[in-house]
Amino acid sequence: MGIRSRIISHLSEGMINYPEINALWLEGSDGTSTSDHLSDIDLVIHVNSGFETNALSICENLLEEIAALDLSYEEPRHHPNMRYKVFHLENTPSYLFIDVNVYSHRPIEFDRFNDSEVPIVLFDKKQVIQIREHNESELQQTLRNRLYHLENTIKQKARIEKYIERNKFIEAIGYYHKFMISPLVEVLRIKYKPINHDYYIVCISKHLPREIVQQLEELYKVNSIEDISKHTQQAYQWFYEVLKDVQNNLNK
């Protein structure tokens, strides 16, 4: 058994008998059947409210039964029923992070149509994992709302241009990504993979057509103020071309 399979099996076997732990499943590349030798492990634990800290401690103790940890870091979350911690075991591949999310609020729903979010259930004692039918009208309403915000973000391109005029590269490139690239990426996703419109660059090379990815890559290749200036105009024009197509499709 490889280290990846050993980690997953050990965590599942160690958690299933805790009555406060309702379910355990894998997401990410395991769910989409795209894992390779560079993939990490995306693990989700559903627990009774108030057991979040205990679940993370149990997970950490189980991992330490396999090997010592050289990374154990909890990233802050702003929701009381959501926790996230990343682990790494000594003497395992450097890329084999174990990303652990703990939820305790409601049943977790997965859209049957969304092939980028597929749970691999290790156990589910209380049927907290629910597969729901796709709601296209709900998605379209979400997309219309996002288009409103994206257009009003990109309309602020003067925030980029003023730093171009000031010859301030760091400020200009920061605002270029915030006010130009980010909305462009999302509007492209809305056109080509709308159900994953909010994924930003995650799996973008898989979700967008190859020629679109190549065109987008050129806008990421920035080495000077002159590049930012030229790419800003190109991205702005492209955004509105795509926006028009998307709006026409949503209005059909």
pTM check: above 0.85: yes
Q: Give residue 179's pLDDT.
A: 98
- 119-131 confidence digits (pLDDT tens): 999 999 999 999 9
Q: Which CATH class is domain 3-132?
A: alpha beta
Residue pair 45/101 in contact (Cβ under 8 Å)? The answer is: yes
Residue pair 216/242 in contact (Cβ under 8 Å)? The answer is: no
Q: What is d(CA 83, CA 101) in angstroms, rounded to the nearest whole number?
A: 6
Neighbours of 53 (CB within 10 A): 12
Neighbours of 18 (CB within 10 A): 16
**b/e string for 108-146 if b means 16 or more Cβ within 10 A?**
bebbeeeebebbbebebeeebbeeeeeeeeebeebbeeb
Domain boundaries, the chain: 3-132, 136-250
Confidence of residue 105 (pLDDT cuts 50, 70, 90): confident
Q: Give residue 241's pLDDT.
A: 98
Measure the CA angle with vertex 117, ends 189 and 248; round to 5°.
25
Q: For the residues of 91-129, what is the DSSP string, one character each?
A: TS-TT--EEEEEE-SSPEEEETT-TT---EEEEESS--E
Whether pLDDT at 1 is above 90 = no
φ, ψ dihedrals at 118, nearest 5°: -125, 120
Short-list 194, 233, 14, 36, CA closest to 113: 194
Going by DSSP bridges, is the β-strand pair 98-103/82-89 parallel, antiparallel, or unpaired? antiparallel
Q: Which residues contact 108 (CB under 8 A, 6 or more apart)?
A: 44, 46, 119, 128, 129, 130
Q: What is d(CA 167, CA 161) in angstroms, rounded to the nearest whole number?
A: 10
Q: For the residues of 22-66, what is the DSSP string, one character each?
A: EEEEEETTTTTT---TT--EEEEEEE-TT-HHHHHHHHHHHHHTT
Averaged pLDDT, 37-51: 96
Measure the CA angle with vertex 57, ends 54 and 62; round to 5°.
125
- 187-244 confidence digits (pLDDT tens): 999 999 999 999 999 999 999 999 999 999 999 999 999 999 999 999 999 999 999 9
Whether pLDDT at 106 is above 90 = no
